[in-house]
Structure 1
Amino acid sequence: MASPIRAATFERLDYSAASGPAPEPDEWMRRLGELPLQHQPGARWQYDLSNEVVGVLVSRVAGKPLETFLRERVLGPLGMGDTGFHVPVDKIDRLPPLYGPDPQTGEFAVWDEAAGGRAGAPPAFQGAGGGLVSTADDYHAYFRMLLNHGMPGSERILSRAAVELMTTNRLSAAQLAARENMFSHAAHLSSGQGVSGGWGFGMAVRTSRSDYTPIGQFGWFGGSGTTAHADRTNQLSGILLTQVGLSTPDSPRAMNDFWTTLYQAIA
């Protein structure tokens, strides 16, 4: 993760949560195009940046903003009315602030306010790599659709083939090794978040069993302290949304306890 090109990516694209909003899509792509590749295509698994590029391309191909496309094709049909790239004023009281520790003192401070924060107004850049704000109910509707192979009811949202590509591992042995190495050196992820898994088209996929979780479980955990996964073996989905970032052990430990309790409850 720590490399000159990676650092330049964050600097040029305003890509971190602490640096402020990203520019509009065309300017974002122009800045990205000025940077060299971090790795040869297909040689290395790299988290998040490719998803942002795909989001811009989808918007260009569809000829409409990414959120409009998502609402027409996915969010609307699934009834995910509380999911979007910002929270309207009449709903902002439902969004909690995000907390994290001060790097100098360790004391908790607000990283991002609700009203007036990053999700309080429509962003210039609708980031497909993690820009959506959602709820547990909306997330549950999305995972139930995936568990049912793209059909939450009688209407098909995604093709069966697309869901299979999303929820099965697509990494080679070398790419898996690079991914495992990255997470083994990430702070406070010793409770199992991010390890023992491969990657489908957009989410992690469990490829080995080292604890209570069955092979094939898919989903992801977020840097703001969230975890959302589903597995077909038990036909279940689990969602835990905290408001403390992953820079302390607290959220990973809460996630580990959450999943342990969930699977222990299965008769």
Structure 2
Amino acid sequence: MTNLNDVLNEYVGDGAAPGAVGLVARGDRVEVVAVGSADAQGTVPMGRDSIFRIASMTKPITAAAVMMLVEEGRIALNEPVRQWLPELAAPMVVRTPSAPVDDVVPADRVITVEDLLTFRAGYGFPSDFSLPAVGLLFSELKQGPPQPQTVPEPDAWMAALSRIPLLHQPGEVWLYNTCSDILGVLIARVADRSLAEFLAERLFEPLGMADTGFVVPAEKADRFAGYYRAGPEGGGLQLVDGPDGQWSRMPAFPSGAGGLVSTADDWYAFARMLLAGGDGGSGDGRRVLSEESVRLMTTDHLTRAQRDSSTLFLEGQGWGFGGSVDVEAVEPWNVPGRYGWVGGTGTAGHLTPATGLVTVLLTQLEMAGPTPPTLMREFWRYAADA
């Protein structure tokens, strides 16, 4: 009978990911396996507590932080963000998506908190990355694969954003990534503290996520996996970032879209909180989020047309707050209501409220595109049958 160790080992090494940590949990039954090595040379064994750059698995955590502020009445879902983000008070929109960046019209309406949470504010990546307005997201905002030490501090980043036109009118189209970075700035300004400080105090400490943050301190560097991408055909793996690289010091811009590092058990703690309807799991009755906030996070908010407009939704997915929501059973693992997301650094985390299933897969090999790699798909297939 196939087990998780067999599934992971089949796709680790020999030019694939050097190692992987997989976690499959359903109720009280938790299966965790670490295989391979944390480095391409095979000198550091992968461990259950290995630390990874989780990239876009950051997004659900950022959304949860926003919902904490909503529950406290400090912001509201339908509230314009201009009070806190004056740079977005009067956005301009390109006349058509392919228009030059100086061919613009005023936005039809203001941008709201919910627009940002649902990725429908007008900023972000469409299916076509070659559009002029999209190019500025890469050149001016350093969007794309996480490079924390290259991004300016939040005020300068927002100033640059204010000079970039929206690709679509607010509320019209789902666009990927940028809204989570904007939410990170919103959290910091509303809370009057850095995003890193807010997340540490309000989420990571209550949930026991001791290895999650925007930096890996020197005393934990021996558990920090390398980050690789596939080289040219036959060229092996190329090191993108090592344990002493861009996550060895706090960035000027803590990215709410993709800046966190974490472990399988830490992200599992976050998923357990959502499965429990916001219960922090501390045993003292303290709640991190309300059941209603969790419901909103894990509910698809898009129209069918908005779901169909992006090639990132390949397998019957919609979008909640900060993560995808499966709405169609296209593959065995696409159970309607499954919530979570993948990270471009080779990571994935999901939870299924209807069944109590949590899956976390962490590798250190960058994804080549939006299609989940074979290891990820086989891991999900195993979890669906487990």
Give me the TM-score of the superposition, normalised by structure 2. 0.63
Unaligned runs of 5+ in 2: 1-127
Superposition deviation, residue 21 in structure 1: 1.8
Percent pairwise identity? 40
| Closer, same or farther: CA 91–250 of 1 in aligned 2, 3 Å | farther
Structure (1 or 2) with the larger CA radius of gyration: 2
Contact 1:100–1:110 (CA under 8 A) maintained in structure 2: yes
Contact 1:198–1:207 (CA under 8 A) maintained in structure 2: yes
Q: State the match for 1:217 in structure 2.
A: 338
Distance 2:385 2:223 in 1: 31
Q: State the match for 1:176 in structure 2.
A: 307
| Closer, same or farther: CA 101–249 of 1 in aligned 2, 3 Å | farther
What amino acid maps onto 2:212 in structure 1? Answer: T
Deviation string, structure 1 residues 194-240 (Cα, Å, up to 9, x no partner): 53100001000000001212111010011000111010222120101
SS for the counterpart of 2:216 is: coil
Q: State the match for 2:159 in structure 1.
A: 30
SS for the counterpart of 1:29 is: helix
**Aligned partner (choices 139, 142, 154) of residue 11 of structure 1:** 139
Superposition deviation, residue 17 in structure 1: 3.2
Superposition deviation, residue 107 in structure 1: 3.1
| Closer, same or farther: CA 84–249 of 1 in aligned 2, 3 Å | closer
Contact 1:98–1:245 (CA under 8 A) maintained in structure 2: yes
Superposition deviation, residue 174 in structure 1: 1.8
Superposition deviation, residue 244 in structure 1: 0.5
Q: State the match for 1:240 in structure 2.
A: 361
Say whether residues 1:113 and 2:242 are aligned partners: yes
Distance 1:7 1:50 in 2: 16
Taking the TM superposition and a 5 Å limit, the aligned residue runs for 1:19-168 are 21-103=150-232, 106-115=235-244, 117-153=245-281, 154-168=285-299
Deviation string, structure 1 residues 108-159 (Cα, Å, up to 9, x no partner): 21111121x1211100001101111100010000000000110033210011
Distance 1:120 1:247 in 2: 25
Contact 1:244–1:251 (CA under 8 A) maintained in structure 2: no
| Closer, same or farther: CA 251–44 of 1 in aligned 2, 3 Å | closer
| Closer, same or farther: CA 16–103 of 1 in aligned 2, 3 Å | farther
Q: For this pair of structures, how many residues does the alignment match?
A: 253
CA RMSD of aligned residues (A): 1.9
Which structure carries more relative contact order (alpha carbon 8 Å, separation 6+)?
2
Deviation string, structure 1 residues 8-56 (Cα, Å, up to 9, x no partner): 1110012233765210000000000011111111111011101111110
What amino acid maps onto 1:139 in structure 2? Answer: W
Q: State the match for 2:50 in structure 1.
A: none
SS for the counterpart of 1:111 is: strand
Q: State the match for 1:199 in structure 2.
A: 319
Q: State the match for 1:191 in structure 2.
A: none
What amino acid maps onto 2:261 in structure 1? Answer: V
Contact 2:212–2:262 (CA under 8 A) maintained in structure 1: yes
Contact 2:316–2:330 (CA under 8 A) maintained in structure 1: yes
Distance 1:229 1:195 in 2: 14
SS for the counterpart of 1:229 is: strand
Contact 2:143–2:178 (CA under 8 A) maintained in structure 1: no
